[in-house]
């Protein structure tokens, strides 16, 4: 059973960088054929895909967020991290990490973390 769990500060000040870590158990982030994603859901809105990292270390971002997004990993800890810079209150959302077996966000995810609330406020 694959498990993912998000961690990081729940409150971030405007203009700062949001940093969240996803810890994976029951599966390796270096295994082929999986996509390790960050997804968010602002209050009252739908899910928004942020980006993913794959086994090779290649990353891919949503065009709307790529200028501010950075996904990295620590393979020794089986973790991958999202950094979102220059945040504003519009970045307030529940942030999820999730695994997919494909590179199409419309096809969904097979495993999700529980999600973590991040509020951008001074």
Nearest Cα neighbor of 114 from 6, 38, 8, 2 is 6
| pLDDT tens for each residue of 68-109 | 999 999 999 999 999 999 999 999 999 999 999 988 877 899
On the question of pLDDT at 117 being above 90, the answer is yes
Residue 89 tokens, joined? 């209150």
Distance from C-alpha of 117 to C-alpha of 89, rounded to nearest angstrom: 13
Residue 57 has pLDDT above 80, yes or no: yes
Bridge partners for 55 per DSSP: none
- pLDDT level of residue 38 (50, 70, 90 thresholds): very high
Q: In this structure, what token pair is assigned to residue 120?
A: 């951008």
């Amino acid at each position: 059973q694959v498990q993912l769990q998000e961690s990081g500060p729940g409150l971030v000040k405007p203009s700062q960088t949001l940093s969240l870590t996803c810890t994976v158990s029951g599966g390796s982030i270096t295994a082929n054929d999986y996509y390790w994603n960050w997804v968010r859901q602002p209050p009252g809105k739908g899910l928004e895909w942020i980006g993913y990292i794959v086994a090779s270390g290649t990353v891919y971002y949503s065009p709307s967020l790529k200028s501010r997004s950075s996904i990295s990993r620590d393979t020794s800890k089986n973790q991958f991290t999202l950094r979102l810079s220059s945040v504003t209150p519009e970045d307030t959302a529940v942030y999820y990490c999730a695994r997919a077996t494909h590179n199409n966000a419309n096809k969904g995810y097979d495993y999700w973390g529980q999600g973590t609330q991040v509020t951008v406020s001074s």
